[in-house]
Amino acid sequence: MWKIQLSLRQRSKPSSKKYISSESQYQKAPEIAFDGIPETEWKQLLLSVFKHSIRLLKPGGLIAVFTDWRRLEKMASLMAQAGLPPKGVVVWDKTAGSRPVKGGFNLQTEFILWGRKGSGAPELYAHGVITPATLTKRQHLTQKPVKVIEHLLKVVPKGGKILDPFAGVATTGVACLKNGYSFTSVEVVPEYFEIGCRRLKELENN
């Protein structure tokens, strides 16, 4: 099987150098926690998070994990080791203007591995490709549009509770509040935590 190995140099790059291709205001954004840790520690961290998350899932509950093409296979393997093998992949098409590659093909897709714990799947069939509008204002280096999260919430029963162990600026929380879900968010970078709290408070006030 074809395997992709990230070099030590690639793994240890600051977040602002990995995810932003040119100089911009986002170059000065806070670094993402745990992003540049060694591969062994990265695997141990995610395996622990997956195991605890799966333990908290109710029967029929779903886990969804964002990843890029380089770590798709490794992420699927970690989910399986944690006890919940993926059932499929959702493709997020970021549209043609995203991450152009000279002489090649745009890196315009991200992948969302998903798996369900036991039985209890809802009677619905959600699209496996998401093409939302591009973010016009970004407050986090890898921020997701709210509509991407809203699409994933379609397979969660109304009134369900969501856990986001890597909350960033609380985009999942925003999507939950807008669509009638309760949630628990975890974020260790103080600057992103504060931004997330402000977003949630503004939404509640409106």
Q: What's the pLDDT tens digit per position in 156-199?
A: 988 899 999 999 999 999 999 999 999 999 999 999 999 999 99
Domain count, the chain: 1
Would you say residue 19 lies in a domain?
Answer: no
**126 lies in some domain:** yes
| CB contact set of 147 (below 8 Å; sequence gap of 6+) | 130, 132, 133
In a domain, 65, yes or no: yes
Summarize pLDDT for 21-52 with one digit per residue, the tens.
554 555 567 776 667 778 999 999 999 999 99
Asked whether residue 8 carries a pLDDT value surpassing 50, the answer given is: no
The pLDDT assigned to 18 comes to 53
| pTM of the model as a whole | 0.82
Tell me the pLDDT tens digit for each residue of 111-123. Answer: 999 999 988 777 8
Does 1 map to a domain?
Answer: no
* Contact (CB, 8 A) for 105 and 41: no
Model pLDDT, residue 128: 96
Beta strand ranges found along the chain (DSSP E)? 62-67, 88-93, 109-116, 129-130, 161-164, 182-185
193 domain residue, yes or no? yes
pLDDT on residue 20:
53
- The enclosing domain of 126 has a CATH number of 3.40.50.150
